[in-house]
Amino acid sequence: MQNIIKSIKEKKGTLLDVRSPMEFEENHIPGAINIPLDIIESNIKQISAMQKPIVVYCLSGGRSSMATGILQQNGIQDIYNGGGIFSLNNIINNN
């Protein structure tokens, strides 16, 4: 995960926030793209074109786990469940 965080910090990857637009507006990791879990499947083409690695996060890790699984089942490689926003933000800022 260390190399993935390094890629994200160097702007060589994508942070994908799968929370609702309202949650995203309230608080998100700078540079993240918001595609809520309920519309992930209809955005597979857009997500597959995103810069890899893709780190998916939500509030606690539940929705990001589901989204990661959906994306992997649709053939998207180099995608990782980043878990919850606060723990992921701490990892990014402290490494």
What residues are labeled active site? Answer: 58
User: Could you give the count of Cα atoms lying within 13 Å of 36 in the half-sphere of its Cβ?
Assistant: 9
Determine the Cα–Cα distance for residues 74 and 4; give it in Å rounded to an integer.
Answer: 21
Say if residues 33 and 63 touch (Cβ distance below 8 Å).
no
State phi, psi for 10 to the nearest 5 degrees.
-85, 10
